[in-house]
Amino acid sequence: MDTPVVSPRVALVTGGSGGIGAAVVRRLAADGFAVAVHYAGSRDRAEDVARAARDAGATAIVVNADVADEHAVAAMFDAVERELGGIDVLVHSAGVMLLSPLGDLDLDDFDRMHRTNVRGTVVVAREAVRRVRAGGAIVTFSSTVVKLALPTYAAYAATKGAVDAMTMILAKELRGRDITVNAVAPGPTATPLFLDGKPQEAIDKLAAMPPLQRLGEPADIADAVAYLAGPARWVNGQVIYVNGGIA
């Protein structure tokens, strides 16, 4: 009797072309997922990430969308379903961080963060609700700065506080669907998004804050995402702080 062929589970990772998103793609591919690597601006980087996943034996494609554009996002989900057969896990790591004291905040910067971090999360999560299969998971991205309340992070933290609220409510709205919904809240992590524009003194100070006395690495965050995407079926409606014990 022939052994049935088991298709891999499928994960769509927004912001998968760099930083934490790319680490998530690598980890999920290593765990046996077929992966869709989303990008907004750099197709070349997304292709590099997908190529590395394929070289490691995974199925990987690249997809493009403005995460705040509901029509583009729907088309992206269509492409993943068409090419990979469905969606089991949505990891929404795409985000924008622009720092400023609140009194000096450029409201155009705030609007940009709100559009990507808040509206983008709503648009992508709404589509995931309609597409993710039973037994799947939705993982959004928050930030430890919501709890730390560091100066210059007010506007960014406000957008991530909105993600916290949406994630916890969505978990309850999916009652009976067998889909978990959680947020990962990284602490200071050595990515271009975090390091850009910071003086070395500030980076060293942040690295010294956790009891483990270092910055997080993208792979540290990917480990937590992989847990939520796979075995963590009894973790639901939570914000998981992945920060080395900083708070």
Segment 50-66, tens digit of pLDDT? 999 999 999 999 999 99
The number of distinct structural domains making up the chain is 1
In a domain, 192, yes or no: no
Q: Which listed residue (39, 153, 156, 227) is catalytic?
A: 156
CA proximity to 177, closest of 119, 128, 117: 128
pTM given for the model: 0.94
Q: What is the mean pLDDT of residues 137-159?
A: 96
Segment 8-17, tens digit of pLDDT? 999 999 999 9
Strands (E) in the chain, as ranges, are 10-14, 34-39, 60-64, 89-92, 137-141, 180-186, 239-242
In a domain, 203, yes or no: no
Q: Two tokens at 195?
A: 């390091």
In a domain, 130, yes or no: yes
In a domain, 195, yes or no: no
Q: What is the structure's pLDDT at 41?
A: 87
Residue 61: Cβ within 10 Å count: 21
In a domain, 62, yes or no: yes
Segment 67-101, tens digit of pLDDT? 999 999 999 999 999 999 999 999 999 999 999 99
Active site residue 153: no
Residue 5 pLDDT > 70: no
Q: Which domain holds residue 18?
A: 10-186+219-239
Q: Assign residue 226 the CATH number of its domain.
A: 3.40.50.720
